[in-house]
């Protein structure tokens, strides 16, 4: 399968669809709390390079290649219209300290009741979407980062005027 590369740039963010049991469960909860009653994406991350290297909360907070990791999956990639390389560096400097941290599965349960995830601070532990929002918060492009889920990130990319959809479809 030959994939035409997407024009990626550092500072873009992405969401992915996960058809597995955990992804479907996350979407069910997100759909329940969603303002629009929809939820497609159950994971989020940050684009680090034009070649598709990412920074995301998987089993650990780490990097991988979006084209290899999500081939055959539906993805949404967005870019904030004001993102600069200086902003990107500010955001990454703030979130690189979390590299190697284990995924905080206990926070998934807090997201079942969104106010709990928003107000119960567990220190250095963030789910994938909170890591993305922490990155955006440190750039000044986002107001808060606790309690956000992948559906919030996807809605932000698709509905907020400061965001451009770079790509949406199957990789």
CATH of the domain at 110: 3.90.1720.10
Query: Is 6 contained in some domain?
Result: no
Reduced 3-state DSSP string for 42-109: CEEEEECCCCCEEEEECCEEECCEHHHHCCCCEEEEEEECCCCHHHHHHHHHHHHHHCCCECCHHHHH
In percent, the amount of the chain with pLDDT more than 70 equals 81
Residue with tokens 């199957």: 170
Query: Is 5 contained in some domain?
Result: no
108: left (phi over 0), alpha (psi -120 to 50) or beta: alpha
Query: Is 151 contained in some domain?
Result: yes
Question: Residue 119 pLDDT > 70, yes or no?
Answer: no
Query: Is 1 contained in some domain?
Result: no
4: which DSSP letter? P
Report the pLDDT averaged over residues 108-130.
72
Report the pLDDT averaged over residues 150-169.
93
Query: Is 2 contained in some domain?
Result: no
Report the pLDDT averaged over residues 94-122.
76
Question: Residue 158 pLDDT > 70, yes or no?
Answer: yes
Query: Is 158 contained in some domain?
Result: yes
126 vs 47: CA distance, rounded Å:
17
Give which of 84, 98, 16 is closest to 52, Cα–Cα. Answer: 16
- pLDDT on residue 1: 43
107 vs 146: CA distance, rounded Å:
10
Q: What is the number of helices (H) and of strands (E) in the chain?
A: 7, 6
State the total domains in the chain.
1
Tokens matching residue 65: 């290649």
Domain that holds residue 129: 13-170
- How would residue 50 be classed by pLDDT, with cut points 50, 70 and 90? very high
Query: Is 4 contained in some domain?
Result: no
Report the pLDDT averaged over residues 13-25.
80
Task: Please indicate whether residue 78 or residue 38 has the higher confidence score (pLDDT).
Answer: 78
Report the pLDDT averaged over residues 59-82.
95
Cβ atoms of 126 and 145 within 8 Å: the answer is: yes
Report the pLDDT averaged over residues 7-31.
80
Kindly report the pTM of this predicted structure: 0.87
Report the pLDDT averaged over residues 105-134.
75
Query: Is 118 contained in some domain?
Result: yes
């Amino acid at each position: 399968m030959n994939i035409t590369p997407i024009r990626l740039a550092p500072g873009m963010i992405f969401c992915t669809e996960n058809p597995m049991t955990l992804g479907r469960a996350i979407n069910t909860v997100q759909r329940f709390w969603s303002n629009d009653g929809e939820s497609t994406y159950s994971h989020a991350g940050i684009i680090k390079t034009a070649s598709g290297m990412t920074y995301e909360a998987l089993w650990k907070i780490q990097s991988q290649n979006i084209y290899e990791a999500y081939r055959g999956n539906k993805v949404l990639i967005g870019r904030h219209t004001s993102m600069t390389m200086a902003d990107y560096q500010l955001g990454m400097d703030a979130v690189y300290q979390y590299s190697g941290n284990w995924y905080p599965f206990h926070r998934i349960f807090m997201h079942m009741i969104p106010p709990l995830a928003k107000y119960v601070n567990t220190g250095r532990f963030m789910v994938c979407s909170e890591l993305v929002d922490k990155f955006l918060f440190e750039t000044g492009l986002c107001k808060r980062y606790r309690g956000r889920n992948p559906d919030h990130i996807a809605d932000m990319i698709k509905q907020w005027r400061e965001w451009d959809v770079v790509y949406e479809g199957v990789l």
